[in-house]
Structure 1
Amino acid sequence: MFINVGDYPEVYPPKMDMLISTEWLSSHLGDPYLVVLDCSVHTEETPEGFANRSGFEDYLLGHIPTAGFADLKGNLSDQSSPIEFAPPSPAAFCAATGRLGVGDGSRVVLYDSMVSAWAARIWWMLRWVGFDRAAILDGGFNAWKTEGRPISTEPATYPPRNLTPRPKPELIANEDEVRGAINSPKVQLIDTLPAESYRGEIALYVGRAGHIPSAINISALDLIDETGRYQPLADLAAMHDIDCDQRLITYCGGGIAASSEAFALTRLGFKNVAVYTASLQEWAANPNNPMTPTSPDGT
Structure 2
Amino acid sequence: MSSNELPSPVDSAWLEAHLGDPNVVVVDATTHLSFPDGKPAIESGEQSYRAAHIEGAVFADLLTDFADHDAAAPWTVPSSEQFAAAAGALGIGDGAIVVIYDQHDGYWATRLWWHLRFEGFDSAVVLDGGLPAWQASGRAVTDAESTPTARTFTGVRRPELIRSTEDVAAALDDPNTILVNVLDPASYRGDNSDAPRRGHIPGSVNLPVSEIRDSETGELKSVDQLRTLFTEAGLLDTDRTVVTYCGGGIAATGVAHALALAGRDDVAVYDGSMSAWSSNPDLPLVTGPSPR
CA contact (8 A) 1:91 1:165 kept: no
Does 1:238 pair with 2:228?
yes
Shift of 1:48: 4.6
CA contact (8 A) 1:37 1:67 kept: yes
Shift of 1:182: 1.4
CA contact (8 A) 2:205 2:291 kept: no
Does 1:128 pair with 2:115?
no
CA contact (8 A) 1:250 1:259 kept: yes
Give the TM-score normalised by the residue count of structure 1.
0.92
Distance in 1 separating the partners of 2:83 and 2:193: 32
**Residue 286 of structure 1: which of 276, 280, 283 is its match?**
280
Structure 1 residues 151, 180: closer, same or farther in 2, change over 3 A? same
Deviation track 1:215-250 (CA, whole Å, cap 9, x = no partner) reads: 011111121112110111122122213122111000
> Number of matched residues?
286
Distance in 1 separating the partners of 2:210 and 2:87: 28
Shift of 1:26: 0.5
**Residue of structure 1 in register with 2:203 after alignment:** 214
RMSD: 1.6
SS of residue paired to 1:222: helix
Distance in 1 separating the partners of 2:77 and 2:68: 6
CA contact (8 A) 1:115 1:224 kept: no
**Residue 39 of structure 1: which of 9, 29, 37 is its match?**
29
SS of residue paired to 2:247: coil
Structure 1 window deviating more from structure 2 (284-293 vs 148-157): it is 148-157
Give the TM-score normalised by the residue count of structure 2.
0.94
Report % sequence identity: 38
Distance in 2 separating the partners of 1:197 and 1:56: 30
**Residue 84 of structure 1: which of 66, 74, 80 is its match?**
74
- In structure 1, stretches of 5+ residues that fail to align are 1-11
Does 1:23 pair with 2:17?
no
Shift of 1:298: 5.8
SS of residue paired to 2:257: helix
Alignment of 1:251-290 (within 5 A): 251-290=245-284
- In structure 2, stretches of 5+ residues that fail to align are none
**Residue 223 of structure 1: which of 199, 202, 212 is its match?**
212
Deviation track 1:3-38 (CA, whole Å, cap 9, x = no partner) reads: xxxxxxxxx734313300100000000201010000
Distance in 2 separating the partners of 1:157 and 1:202: 45
CA contact (8 A) 1:101 1:157 kept: no
Does 1:94 pair with 2:84?
yes
CA contact (8 A) 1:181 1:189 kept: no
Alignment of 1:103-122 (within 5 A): 103-122=93-112
SS of residue paired to 1:108: strand
Distance in 2 separating the partners of 1:153 and 1:161: 24
CA contact (8 A) 1:191 1:215 kept: yes
Shift of 1:44: 2.3
Shift of 1:53: 0.7
CA contact (8 A) 2:99 2:124 kept: yes
